[in-house]
């Protein structure tokens, strides 16, 4: 898929309160199938980054993000397919007991909590934007 202009994706780092664990899932489908990614999706017309983050997380996991959701970092990804995304990462915390559901099972194999510092080892292969975030200077 080659785009005339880059698209904007939003990825969301959801941390379990009081831990360094965040939510990741293995993607299904043509774009990044089999690769581990954060919940997220396309920024829609007129949306703020935070609105997009909360909407996609609710659609995909059933988790309701609070007012703490905020911009974290951005990366630029040109995929081997030719697709070009600017990915805006947001972060938020949910209570320790919050239980994500796999509400789009045709798009994701399931959600797991993984230590941020272990993502690069535990979650291979990584979706390109997440690999770029982990290689960046950003520290959550």
Instruction: List residues near ligand 8DG by CB under 6 A.
Output: 9, 11, 31, 37-42, 56, 77, 85, 87, 107, 127, 129-130
**N- to C-terminal Cα separation, the chain:** 32
CA proximity to 129, closest of 82, 77, 88:
77
Enter the tokens of residue 53.
């983050």
Residue 37 touches which member of ligand 8DG, Mg ion, none, C-beta under 5-8 Å by kind? ligand 8DG
Q: Cis omega (within 30 of 0) on the bond before 125?
A: yes
Q: Which positions ≥6 away from 87 have C-beta within 8 Å?
A: 8, 9, 10, 11, 40, 74, 75, 76, 77, 129, 132, 133
Q: Which is nearer to ligand 8DG, 97 or 137 (CB)?
A: 137
Query: What is the rounded distance in angstroms from the CA atom of residue 109 to the CA atom of residue 34?
Result: 9
By CB under 5 A, residue 129 contacts Mg ion: no
Q: Which is nearer to ligand 8DG, 96 or 110 (CB)?
A: 110
18 pairs with which residues across the strands?
Answer: none
Rounded least distance, CB 121 to ligand 8DG, Å = 18
Size of the site for Mg ion (CB under 5 A): 2
Rounded least distance, CB 46 to Mg ion, Å = 17
Rounded least distance, CB 29 to ligand 8DG, Å = 7
Which region among 55-63, 67-75, 78-86, 122-130 touches Mg ion (by CB under 5 A)? Answer: 55-63
Binding site for Mg ion (CB under 5 A): 41, 56
């Amino acid at each position: 898929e080659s785009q005339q202009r880059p698209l904007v994706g939003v990825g969301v780092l959801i941390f379990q309160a009081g831990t360094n664990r965040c939510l990741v899932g293995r993607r299904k489908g043509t774009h990044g199938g089999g690769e581990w990614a954060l919940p997220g999706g396309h920024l829609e017309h007129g949306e703020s980054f935070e609105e997009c983050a909360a909407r996609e997380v609710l659609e995909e996991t059933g988790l309701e993000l609070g007012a703490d959701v905020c911009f974290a970092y951005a990366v630029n990804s040109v995929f081997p397919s030719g697709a070009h995304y600017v990915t805006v990462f947001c972060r938020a915390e949910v209570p320790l007991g919050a239980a994500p559901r796999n509400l789009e099972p045709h798009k994701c194999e399931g959600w797991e909590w993984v230590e941020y510092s272990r993502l690069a080892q535990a979650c291979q292969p990584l979706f390109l934007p997440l690999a770029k975030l982990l290689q960046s200077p950003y520290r959550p």
